[in-house]
Structure 1
């Protein structure tokens, strides 16, 4: 009888500890420390940011998720807008961290993703280059301009911008850090 009582009390105690851990896990904030790459799921409109490295030139690189597995991006001179898998984006990062930012309005983010997908299909021959930020039909595109235009035209969202002197002209541009520091964007995942 004692053995049965001891076993029953042990079971009850273990159950209380286990159920307490479940409640704690449900309340725990999702951070880079408790989420791994395999468990992270991208949403349409998420912005993938790679910080400065040898393959992202001087200011970093951004791409926009169009699904849970696919991004639209343009990398640099000689490149054109194309789709790539999120895994390939991670694999190219070298020593750079990859950070994922999410816009607060998922409906608008999804609209931006749709615009980016359609842009990639209709303007797949666009060349990497700089010109007016809002003129996407000229055939000149760069990574953060693609993301900026996706949110501007696809979702009516104004992300942050900067000014730069390019070829003797001062142009309104959007850099990767402009995109990620914009109102409504929040860091949701980091892969170091």
Structure 2
């Protein structure tokens, strides 16, 4: 009889430990957030992703190459020439609004950056300071990489990486805000800080 009593007590103690564990596991499962993917791809959307689209004149945004960055709110931050009612400049697009700026079936490439998260946070905090899109030709002051407004897409992304990461040039390696130079989308994606993660087709 004592043997069965001991067995019953052992079983009761075991259940006291195992039942809360199962409940906790269920709670974790219910609260788990499934990953989100870029449309029609197996590429997971991540903060700091750099989106690159290689265009030719005559397509949806009338520019040759465009580059943007995804922030923690899953919005795409970029600078473009489109006047959305408030002029050209900095944009904060929901993902599918950003895709809608491209023609259906266009390819967007995704690059992962070692220092992308802080760059994305800077872009989110500063995109609204850009109220005019311009690639400078005649104004040497605007030609400097530190000029926030006016701005253009790839310079804005260079600034995001530079200012977002304690004034360190992770894109080119030796540029400074006082330098008079262009930054192209190709220079961004060719940076050693970025790694190609895949691509997707705009819906």
Shorter-chain TM range is 0.5 to 0.7
- Tell me the TM-score normalised to structure 1 length: 0.65
Are the aligned partners of 1:43 and 1:68 in contact in 2 as well (CA < 8 Å)?
A: no
Counterpart of 1:42?
45
Query: Could you give the per-residue CA deviations for residues 110-150 of structure 1, whole angstroms, max 9, x where no partner exists?
Result: 111111111124x15x211133342234x211011110000
Alignment of 1:135 onto 2:146: yes
Counterpart of 2:32?
none
Alignment of 1:153 onto 2:163: yes
What is the Cα deviation at residue 56 of structure 1? 3.8
What is the Cα deviation at residue 82 of structure 1? 1.7
CA distance in 2, matches of 1:148, 1:128: 15
What is the Cα deviation at residue 68 of structure 1? 5.7
CA distance in 1, matches of 2:155, 2:38: 30
CA distance in 2, matches of 1:114, 1:57: 28
What is the Cα deviation at residue 97 of structure 1? 0.8
Counterpart of 1:72?
77
Which 4+ stretches in 1 moved above 4 angstroms?
A: none
What is the Cα deviation at residue 180 of structure 1? 0.7
In structure 2, relative to structure 1, the CA distance for the partners of 1:109 and 1:128 (3 Å cut) is same
Count residues with an aligned counterpart. 144
CA distance in 2, matches of 1:75, 1:154: 20
What is the Cα deviation at residue 58 of structure 1? 4.3
In structure 2, relative to structure 1, the CA distance for the partners of 1:64 and 1:82 (3 Å cut) is same
CA distance in 1, matches of 2:73, 2:43: 9
Counterpart of 2:116?
109
- Tell me the TM-score normalised to structure 2 length: 0.62
CA distance in 1, matches of 2:89, 2:182: 19
In structure 2, relative to structure 1, the CA distance for the partners of 1:133 and 1:191 (3 Å cut) is farther
Between structures 1 and 2, the one with greater strand share: 1
Counterpart of 2:20?
none
After superposition, residues 145-184 of structure 1 pair within 5 angstroms as 145-155=155-165, 156-160=168-172, 171-184=180-193
Counterpart of 1:51?
54
In structure 2, relative to structure 1, the CA distance for the partners of 1:177 and 1:62 (3 Å cut) is same
| Structure with greater Cα Rg | 2
CA distance in 2, matches of 1:36, 1:81: 22
Query: Gaps spanning 5+ residues in structure 1: where?
Result: 1-34, 162-170
